[in-house]
A and B are shown apart, each in its own frame.
Chain A
Amino acid sequence: MNMPLDTIKYLGITILLAPLAGAVLAGALGPKILRGRTHWATILGVAAAFVASIMLFQTVRTAPVTARSAQVPIYEWISSASGADIAVEFLVDPLTSIMLLVVTGIALLVVIYSRDYMRHHDHPEPGYERFFAYLGLFVFSMCALVLGGNFILLYLGWEAVGLCSYLLIGFYYGKPAASAAAKKAFLVNRVGDFGFGLGIFLIYVTFGSLEYGPVFDMAARGITATGEALSSERITAIALLLFCGACGKSAQLPLHVWLPDAMEGPSPVSALIHAATMVTAGIYMIARCGAIFAVSPVAMNVVAAVGALTALFAATIALVQTDMKRILAYSTISQLGYMVLGAGVYAADSAVFHLFTHAFFKALLFLGAGSVMHAMGGIIDVRHFSGLRRLLPATFLTFVIGSLALAGFPMLSGFFSKDEIIHHALAAHPILGGMGLLTALLTAFYTFRMVFLAFFGPQRVPEGVHPHESGSWMLVPLFILSIGAIGAGYFGTGVTHKAFHHFLEPVFANTFASRNPHHAASHAAEAAHASFWADYGLMLISGTLAILGILAAYLIYVAQPWLAGLAKATWPAAHRVLWKKYYVDEAYQAGIVDPLRQSGRVCVGLDDYFIDGLVWIVTAVPRGLGYALRFVQSGLLQGYALSMVAGLAVILLWVFW
């Protein structure tokens, strides 16, 4: 028996429209009527979406394994004679339901957290209502992206979340850095989205349809719309173009530059959008389009390489940053690199699993950083405060839990998910796997460097700041997320018989799983259960690396602080390169932004002289004529009469001669 389509349809509509309604209410009634109570509109909307997501998840889970995917049409949107029929439809399957749970769940916690965060001494900040409206709009956009059943809805959701990101990063629009960061985010995403759009065009040209079902079916069978064989160049091109979009949205090399700057937005925004949901849209897209990616080995290699490189690259930069949110941003880029790497080695279910756990602990870390920022009067640079563990005990506790999960401390959620990806990577491309291991070590190190710098050491706070622990509106979400950070990993382990991966199996069965060339290599050892080393060797190594990283950070930043200065003095050049983020931003500025500005100036000059000159010449004709003939208008009656008579004489002459 198939899933009840009507139930799914109404649940889907609720998930989509409830946050939107909340956003509209917040935006329309907030400024004048609701004011300080505007958060209720968004909280209720997102809560309704969350409840509906749970119900949707239950519906999918209780359906038989073979029938867990449903394409639910809502209405016919565009239908043209030339065959471009685009409907508003949902595709509901296990992947969708998991993503929706993550999105709405984290969003609900973030919205609750924001109620206190966007206030000072219990007075709402200016723009309070706008914030909640934008948050609701974002949740709507992300759900549309995830729920969409064709590429058009995916693209629409994609762009809409980009828009909401722009609006929310530039929330403090009076601050030049914030509006510049918002512009940067939007423009860099635009570059990625351009490739993405081209990919979608190519899909339409090749497959003649934009719906997931027909497209994936044709891709899997290797044929195009006309029935000819699908050339591998074509499918590789499509996959790489789609991956462009993922690079932009999920901040992979070389389009990662917007994410650190996006930290200008409020911390809840960073937690929701730039940790848990929007940036994971790229991973979701790759997972969803498995049929396209999995048939192109070239594309998969590119994806894996980019993911591993990004992970290592970002981890090295995070080693020397001093702004807590920047460290977390680079760590997000690095973890996203892990997810992309996972997808690139045909382990998409591991990638989604890491997405799942990462959402918990990264959101936790960002909200914790927000709590610190709130207490420190807006300052988040660790050079200005330290020793906060006694001043902000609850924040400290939850922050440490999140950091342990991020670092991959054994038995916490991050440990399990990261381990799986490294396992598959080592089996497929040992070099990339090695990079993944190195990154894990660095991750543990810089995460706890941040923890020790901020929470340990002598107690000092910036001038004039009276730190106080945050209120319950902020702490309760932190606690809930801590529970997730600790326990979410167990869904993917033997305790639950790998429930998570089994749940996702039908989605990837025909795509990643079946075409995995490294399938034999990675599963042979497992199946054999040859030795303790084969089963648990990797876990041992990664656990040890995590603990080593933490101890190293402890040594350098708590036990013997002079060691940090020594490192910096010994390798000043290396430190400088890392501090300047490998000069990527400067390279973009010099290579792209400045030439564009220059050409803009050239165009302005062209416009002013050439085009305006042409126009001037055209207008010179009537002006000249007028100037020449002005003397006729003397204002004198007799002059006019003379002209009239002259005209009469000429006419008569002409007629009668």
Chain B
Amino acid sequence: MTGSTAYALYGVFALGAIAMFLLLPQPQRSRPLVGAVAGLAALALLLVVLATRVATADTTVYFYLFAALAIASAARVISHPRPVYSALYFVLTVIAVAALLVLQHAEFLAVALIIIYAGAILVTYLFVIMLAHQGGSAVYDRRAREPLWTVLICFLLMATITTRAAVLPPAASPKGVPVSSSVAAGPAQLDGPPATFGNTAAVGATLMSRYIVAIQMAGVLLLISLVGAIALSRRKVRSDVPPMSARPLGQIGREVQPF
């Protein structure tokens, strides 16, 4: 990444770190208002940095919109003191990410994301939150542990990954078309199914042809987790009824209904 972009990103990340630090729930130091303002500023700056690298056109504005939404709601997921709100903000994050996926022409994945995440996983989370309800915001929700170090280290990690570790393709020439190319709108080209297939069919074809074993393993994994979840959450059943084998046959016959 070129020097100026990198330094600009460092500035953005620094501002974002400060914003996050102020947003995390801490009894004395948290300044949600200041943090929110700083966060939005950081977000805006990020989008500006991105924008200067690419030509404005077509679907890019939607990208920025949904990107901003995803980042903001993710920030709120981790910084909201009440778990229920965290879960709800997470739903928002999922929707934003799904939209981004649609922009990438990965429609099947987007819908699957919404169904599975927002529909199943989040509902499970909400159930558990309700089951473990503590009545109001508990003390452990109001205080984050070691926010300073956490924020510093994680933003350092992010900065390193983005500016250094990820060797990105060269930036676009100003207002020009980026050298990395462009996949035109439309279905991806693959070896196998014909170009007339839609995204869902293409993904399905890929899965069934190249990743068939992985699908089987995924199924087994799901089965195992199902069994595991049941085993984990079983309450010990103390029954006053003696086991079947201990009772005389005649009695068993009278108790056990045929249908």
On A, residues with C-beta under 8 Å from B are 636, 638-639, 642, 645-646, 648-649, 652-653, 656-657
Give 5 CB contacts A-B under 8 Å. Answer: A638-B145, A639-B145, A645-B153, A648-B157, A656-B160
Min Cβ gap B118→A in Å is: 27
List 17 additional contacts besides A645-B153, A649-B157, A653-B160; criterion CB under 8 Å: A638-B145, A639-B145, A642-B149, A642-B153, A645-B154, A645-B157, A646-B153, A648-B157, A649-B156, A649-B160, A652-B157, A652-B161, A652-B164, A652-B165, A656-B160, A656-B165, A657-B164
Which secondary structure characterizes the binding site on chain B? helix
Q: How far is the CA of A636 from the CA of B160 in the complex (A)?
A: 27
User: What is the count of residue pairs linking A and B with beta-carbon distances less than 8 angstroms?
Assistant: 30
Kindly state the separation between the CA atoms of A653 and B160 in the bound complex, as whole angstroms. 6
On chain A, the residues within 8 Å of B157 by CB distance are: 645, 648-649, 652
Decide yes or no whether B240 CB sits under 8 A from chain A.
no
Chain B residues, CB < 8 A from A645: 153-154, 157
| In the assembled complex, B58 has its CB within 8 A of some CB on chain A | no
Chain A proximity of B42: nearest CB distance (Å): 20
| A-contact 0/1 string along B157-196, CB 8 Å cutoff | 1001100110000000000000000000000000000000
Mark B131-162 against chain A: 1 for CB-CB distance below 8 A, else 0.
00000000000000110011001101100110
A652 and B154 form a contact (CB under 8 A):
no
Shortest CB-to-CB span from B225 to chain A, Å, is 21
Closest to A656 in B: B164
Task: Name the residue of chain A whose CB is nearest to the CB of B164.
Answer: A656
Say which residue of B145, B146, B150, B160 sits within 8 Å of A652 (CB atoms): B160
Cross-chain contact A642 with B150 (CB below 8 angstroms): yes
Please measure, in the bound complex, the distance between the C-alpha atom of A470 and the C-alpha atom of B157, giving whole angstroms: 103
Residues of A contacting B156 in the complex (Cβ-Cβ under 8 angstroms): 649, 653
Residue of A nearest to B156 (CB): A649
Nearest A residue to B166, CB-CB: A656
Q: Shortest beta-carbon distance, B228 to chain A, in Å? A: 20
Nearest opposing residue in chain B for A638, CB measure: B145
Q: Which residues of B contact A657 (CB under 8 A)?
A: 164
Chain B residues closer than 8 Å to A639, beta-carbon distance: 145-146
8 closest A-B pairs by beta carbon, nearest first, are A656-B164, A649-B157, A652-B160, A646-B153, A649-B156, A656-B165, A653-B160, A649-B153
Residues on the B chain within 8 Å of A649, using CB: 153, 156-157, 160
A195 to nearest B CB, angstroms? 77
Q: Which residues of A contact B160 (CB under 8 A)?
A: 649, 652-653, 656
Q: Are B146 and A642 in contact (CB under 8 A)?
A: yes
The complex places the Cα of A639 from the Cα of B149 at a distance, in Å, of 11
**Set of chain A residues within 8 Å of B165, measured between Cβ atoms:** 652, 656
Could you say which of B150, B154, B156, B160 has the most chain A C-beta atoms within 10 Å of its C-beta?
A: B160
**How far is A645 from B154 in the complex, measured between Cα atoms in Å?**
8
Provide the residues of chain A in CB contact with B153, threshold 8 Å.
642, 645-646, 649
Measured between alpha carbons, how far is A638 from B156 in the docked complex, in Å?
A: 18
Least CB separation from A651: chain B residue: B160
Complex-state Cα separation, A649 to B163, whole angstroms: 13
